[in-house]
């Protein structure tokens, strides 16, 4: 099988290749083609992958290219992990919002809308090229905002594009560990949108264990999300929220912490990754060592401001070692290519699975996956405190998709103004102007 990785010079690509090296079942990926617009980044990651493969028998061969059609031609699977505007765009997403006293985060709030607006046209063009040169390929979308981008790409590829995120499975693993059960043997009642969802139940051997966990203070403190949100609040919700919901439930505290930090997550990653790519260029023989060191630093600092603010403490070692989106992607590939049935939480077309949301909306829910494809599973009706927020954020996503595809500034303002974390229509207008002034890729999509 051939796997094309778009954004192939990205820092997390070695995680995917490492998972492929551990995969010995048949059929397996024999060729990996990395595509990126940056030859420098491709060269660095190619060095890392070569050193990862050392000592392995018959590792998947690796090619690199800056030509999209070359990367896609004949692919069986495509991983799309692009970042339009690079980390410079991310830092602008975050910093502009903070300058208006709003949350500065890459996928949540106005920063997520800005990121989506400039990414959607590129993602749709990618989908069109997949349809032209690799029409039998499955696209697994990592590109954020994952739900919004997957929904836009569906307009071209239909069910052959699926979005993934590692936040839900991380929450389920932590919850299962706190309960002392195997996460592979539980049935999660999880429902939401990407970066906006709730674990409402966790069934093990026919019994829902979540109510007992919510009532047990000591066990609940073992779950990072419960430490972040506080036991009283998760009991009020009757569910464990995805970590990104902290930005909604504790918005004022999140903004204050980001402003006090003096730097955003994006600004930290710019420095971190520049050190990595420069070091690999200067000392290519140390590529894997540099990547491993930088990865440990990056993982440990993930959402560190939130954990510091709430007293949740450092991330657990088991969490850091468990793996993330690369494992989900490989499991999805195995289920489809090898006919190994699995149940996974994915970003897919709603249909009638989540009552109260449009049929065409992409939602993040459990799905049955097999050689026949991906089938969303029906969910229990949502209470208003969850459904209302999902409906409003989905309206934002759909307005942003239409704005990006039509070049409509009015719809872009609508998307920003409708967002629950933007508190004024006038601020929405000024946000859009500021983003256009700072991010050339967005100005090209939405000219004045």
pLDDT in tens, 232-287: 999 999 999 999 999 999 999 999 999 999 899 999 999 999 999 999 999 999 99
Residue pLDDT, tens place only, 361-385: 999 999 999 999 999 999 999 999 9
What is the rounded average pLDDT of the residues 108-112?
Answer: 98
Q: Indicate the pLDDT class of residue 322, thresholds 50, 70 and 90.
A: very low
Q: Over pLDDT 90: what percentage of the chain?
A: 91
Sequence-ordered alpha helix ranges (H) in 238-324: 246-249, 251-261, 265-282, 287-300, 304-310, 317-321
DSSP helix/strand/coil, 355: coil
Share above pLDDT 70 across residues of the chain, in percent, rounded to a whole number: 95
Residue 117 contacts residue 400 (beta carbons within 8 Å) = yes
Average pLDDT over the chain reads 94
Neighbours of 434 (CB within 10 A): 18
- Pull the structure tokens for residue 235: 């009991």
CA 197 vs. chain centroid, Å, equals: 13
DSSP strand pairing (2-6 vs 77-80): parallel
Q: Are 220 and 231 in contact (CB under 8 A)?
A: yes
pLDDT per position as a tens digit, 291-307:
999 999 888 776 666 65
For CA atoms 419, 420, 426, 427, the dihedral sign is negative
Q: pTM of the prediction?
A: 0.94
Question: What are the tokens at 379?
Answer: 């969910």
Contact 22, 49 (CB under 8 A): no
pLDDT of residue 448: 85
**What does the pLDDT look like over 333-342, one tens digit per residue?**
999 999 989 9
Query: Across 282-385, where does the E strand assignment appear?
Result: 342-349, 362-370, 373-376
Residue 24's pLDDT is 84
Residue 317 has pLDDT above 80, yes or no: no
- Distance from chain centroid for Cα 262: 25
Report DSSP letters for 221-237, one per residue: TTSHHHHHH-HHHHHHH
Query: pLDDT tier at 225 (50, 70, 90 boundaries)?
Result: very high
Quick one: pLDDT at residue 21?
A: 95
pLDDT at residue 320, as a whole number = 44
- DSSP for 20-73 reads HHH--SSS---EEEEE-S-HHHHHHHHHHHHHHHTT-SSPPEEEEES-HHHHHT
**Closest residue by Cα to residue 329 from 166, 186, 205:** 166
| CA gap 331, 329 in Å, rounded | 5
Q: Could you read off the pLDDT of 386-436 as tens digits, one per residue?
A: 999 999 999 999 999 999 999 999 999 999 999 999 999 999 999 999 999
CB 290 within 8 A of CB 279: yes
For residue 313, what pLDDT band results from cuts at 50, 70 and 90? low
pLDDT one-digit tens code per residue, 146-157: 999 999 999 999
Distance CA 216, CA 223 (A): 11
């Amino acid at each position: 099988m051939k796997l094309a990785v778009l954004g192939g010079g990205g820092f997390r690509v070695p995680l995917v290749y490492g998972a492929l090296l551990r995969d010995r079942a048949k059929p397996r990926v024999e060729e990996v083609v990395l595509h990126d617009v940056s030859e420098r980044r491709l060269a660095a990651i190619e060095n890392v992958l070569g050193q990862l493969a050392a000592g392995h028998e018959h590792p998947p061969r690796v090619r690199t290219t800056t030509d999209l059609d070359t990367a896609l031609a004949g692919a069986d699977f495509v991983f799309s992990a692009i970042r339009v505007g690079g980390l410079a765009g991310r830092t602008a997403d975050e910093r502009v919002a903070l300058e208006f006293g709003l949350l500065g985060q890459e996928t949540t709030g106005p920063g997520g809308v800005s990121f989506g607006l400039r990414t959607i046209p590129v993602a749709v063009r990618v989908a069109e090229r997949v349809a032209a040169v690799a029409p039998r390929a499955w696209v697994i979308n990592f590109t954020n905002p994952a739900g919004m981008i997957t929904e836009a790409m569906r307009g071209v590829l239909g069910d052959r594009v699926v979005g993934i995120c590692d936040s839900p499975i991380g929450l389920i693993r932590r919850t299962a560990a706190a309960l002392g059960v195997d996460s592979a043997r539980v049935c999660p009642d999880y429902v939401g949108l990407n970066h906006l969802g709730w674990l409402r139940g966790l069934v093990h051997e026919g019994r829902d264990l979540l109510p007992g966990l919510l009532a047990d203070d000591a066990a609940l403190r073992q779950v990072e999300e419960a430490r972040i949100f506080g036991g009283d609040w998760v009991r009020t919700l009757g569910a464990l929220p995805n970590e990104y919901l902290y930005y909604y439930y504790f918005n004022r505290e999140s903004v204050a912490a980001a402003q006090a930090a003096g730097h955003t997550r994006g600004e930290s990653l710019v420095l971190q990754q520049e050190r990595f790519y420069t070091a690999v260029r200067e000392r290519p023989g140390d590529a894997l060592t540099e990547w491993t060191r930088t990865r440990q630093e990056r993982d440990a600092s993930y959402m560190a401001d939130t954990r510091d603010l709430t007293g949740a403490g450092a991330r657990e070692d088991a969490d850091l070692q468990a793996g993330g989106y690369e494992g989900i992607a490989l499991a999805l590939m195995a289920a489809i290519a090898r006919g190994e049935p699995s149940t996974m939480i994915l970003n897919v077309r709603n249909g009638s699975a989540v009552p109260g949301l449009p049929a065409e909306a992409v939602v993040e829910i459990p799905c049955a996956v097999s050689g026949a494809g991906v089938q969303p599973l029906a969910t229990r009706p949502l209470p208003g405190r969850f459904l209302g927020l999902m409906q409003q954020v989905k309206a934002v996503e759909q307005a942003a998709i239409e704005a990006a595809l039509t070049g409509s500034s009015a719809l872009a303002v609508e998307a920003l103004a409708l967002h629950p974390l933007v508190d004024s229509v006038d601020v929405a207008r000024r946000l859009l102007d500021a983003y256009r002034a700072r991010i050339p890729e967005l100005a090209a999509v939405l000219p004045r």
